[in-house]
Amino acid sequence: MIKVRNIMTKNVITITKDSSILEAAKLMTSKSVSSLVVVEKEKPLAVVSESDIINGIVSKKIKVKDVMDKEFMTTSPLTRFSEIVKSLREKKIGRFPVVENEKLVGLITETDVIEATRDFTRFHQIVQEVILTIFGLATAFFLFYFSPLGASVFG
C-alpha cells in the first residue's frame, strides 16, 4: 500500500508567524511555491497560501499570523494514499503538512497526488502491456507447437 511518505515533498518551505506578508510573498516567488507552512520550533501552526497573501497585501505591516489559515489538517507519513485522496475530495483541503513526532517532515499537496496518480496509471499500463505480450507469445508458441509444422519440429 502506498503511503504518504513515498509521495510527499520532503523539503518544505516554511516561515514564522511573525514574518511580514512581503517576506512571505518574496519567499513564495523565489521558491516557486503556492503556500508556506507556518512553523514554530519545527511544529506546524498553520498554512499560508497565495490567496492569504493577496488578502493581506494591502498593508506591508501585516504579519503572516494575521492572515494564515489556522484551520488545517496534518497527516502522518504512514497515512495511506487512499485516505489522502478521500480527504482532498471530501474536505476540499489542498495541502497537508506531514508531521512525525510533532515535527514537520513533509508536505503533501494536490499536485503530489495528481503526479502519483499519473505514475500509478503509467505503471498499470506498462504491466498490462507486459501481460498482453506474454499472453501473445504463449498463444503463438502453443499454436505453433500443436500445428503440423510444430509437430514435425518437436515430434
Number of H helices, E strands in the chain: 7, 5
Helix, strand, or coil (residue 74): coil
Of the candidates 55, 16, 39, the one whose C-alpha atom is nearest the C-alpha of residue 107 is 39
Counted domains in the chain:
2
The cell for 109 is 499537496
**What is the per-residue pLDDT across 96-111, written as a single tens digit (0 to 9) for each?**
899 999 899 999 988 8
Do 76 and 20 have their domain in common?
yes
User: 148 and 101 in one domain?
Assistant: no
Of 29, 21, 19, 47, give the one whose Cα is nearest residue 110: 47
**Cβ distance 47 to 38 under 8 Å?**
yes
Do residue 14 and residue 80 come from a single domain?
A: yes
Q: Are residues 69 and 32 in the same domain?
A: yes
Q: Residues 40, 80: one domain?
A: yes
Q: How far does CA 29 lie from the centroid of its chain? A: 20
Closest CA to 98 of 116, 79, 81, 75: 75
State which H helix or E strand residue 155 sits in.
Answer: none
The CATH number covering residue 90 comes to 3.10.580.10
Same domain for 8 and 44?
Answer: yes
Q: Are residues 121 and 87 in the same domain?
A: no
Band (pLDDT 50/70/90 cuts) for residue 81 is confident
Q: pTM of the full predicted structure? A: 0.69
CA atoms of 48 and 17, how far apart (whole Å): 9
Domain that holds residue 133: 115-154
Residue 149 shares a structural domain with residue 110: no
pLDDT digits (tens, 9 = 90+) for 7-52: 888 999 999 999 988 899 999 999 999 999 999 998 999 999 888 8
pLDDT of residue 60: 64
pLDDT in tens, 41-70: 989 999 998 888 887 766 667 888 888 887
Asked whether the predicted pLDDT for residue 3 surpasses 90, the reply is: no
Same domain, 94 and 30: yes
Q: pLDDT-based confidence at 147, cuts 50/70/90?
A: confident
Tell me how far apart the 2 most distant CA atoms of the chain are, in Å: 90
Query: Quick one: 100 and 65 in the same domain?
Result: yes
